[in-house]
Amino acid sequence: MSDNKPSSGRLRSNSYDQAMSSEHLTVNKPIVNNSSSEFDRKSCETIQRNNDDDDDDVYSIKWIEFNHQRLPILLQNMNGPCPLLAIANILLLRKRIFLPSNLNVISTEHVIATIAEYILQFDTTKLNDEKRINYERNIQDALAVLPKLKTGMDVNLKFNGVDKFEYTPECIIFDLLGIQLLHGWVVDPQDKELQKIIQSNALSYNQLIEKIIPQTDGNLSRESLLIQQFLEENRSQLTHYGILQLNTIMVDNQLAVLFRNNHFNTIWKNKNQLFLLVSDQGYLNHPSIVFETLTDIDNNSTFTNGYGDIWQKSVPVDTTRDRDLAIAMHKQQQRQYREEQLYQQQQQHSQRYYHEENSNKSRKKQRHPSYDDDQDCACILS
């Protein structure tokens, strides 16, 4: 692996890609677009049928929002988070390769062919003969190991840096594509004694294991005990210092591949935070779940969307409760209306009664005296 340190101040994820690739060569056609004749409707139908034949050799496609664009990512199949999956997802998110919007699954064969086509488009005309021959040899080596990445690759990390690995033939593919391979299994410099053991020979994992050897009396040496304790306490293959170093070495909005627990994950840095791409098949129908946070070694992660915002489960609307509330309010309004109507009727009745009562009293005061009241006209019987 190249130990070149990325420059700072990049705003988009593919800015770092351009900086890395420009050190080697340029690309005649920087984008492999599978919406061409090779990926026409007929090919899509063939790929869809392959899903019924061999689920292990097919990736489901999930469409997400990332960098303010709708982009596809591939989800894990039976091979799990393999190197091929992580590489393909970075190229898709970098917009180095495209998939047609009507595609729901894609075969491993097509993924490998698409990445190979992208590699073969690199322009070597500006290289001298010696460099061109060397580079063409690297391309052939990369194309030879590319199909093997669907299941895994040999990785022998070193504990003195998050970008330190023992070089293997498979690492050539990361160099050619300008993708950093990282890990977080790094010794904290504050552990002076263990740091001295690691730094003295820049030990790799395999070399560190070889140092755990019993003495003649069957007991482990002080050095072996320290190494064994470190490996047991950090079985997750991630340390707090490793997380700090990952955040330091990565530039903002950079995409890389993180090796951990024999898995290869797509890691993204955004606003000084680290995120891992969620590629589990179970989240296929959850487009708002895109990343999960990487903040500690205990897997206390939180789901986020494609912008790094914390994902919140949507609360379903209780339409039954809303309907019952509306009905109750309507009935209350009707009841208030009837009460007001009744009150107005009572008021009108009271006013009418009072008016009639006063009228009767007035008539009684103005009535003329009758003959019965006239004593002079009284009839006397003899």
Which residue numbers are catalytic? Answer: 82, 263
Q: What angle do CA 130, 176, 141 make, to 5 degrees?
A: 70
| Token pair recorded at residue 162 | 């998050």
Orientation angle between helical segments 108-120 and 83-93, nearest 10 degrees: 60
- In the chain, what's the furthest Cα-to-Cα distance? 169
| CB burial of residue 256 (10 Å; 0-12, 13-18, 19+) | buried
| Token pair recorded at residue 65 | 């929002």
What is 340-378 written as a DSSP string?
HHHHHHHHHHHHHHHHHHHHHHHHHHTPPPPGGG-GGG-
CA distances from residue 303 to 62, 66, 272, 300 in whole angstroms, order as listed = 16, 15, 17, 10
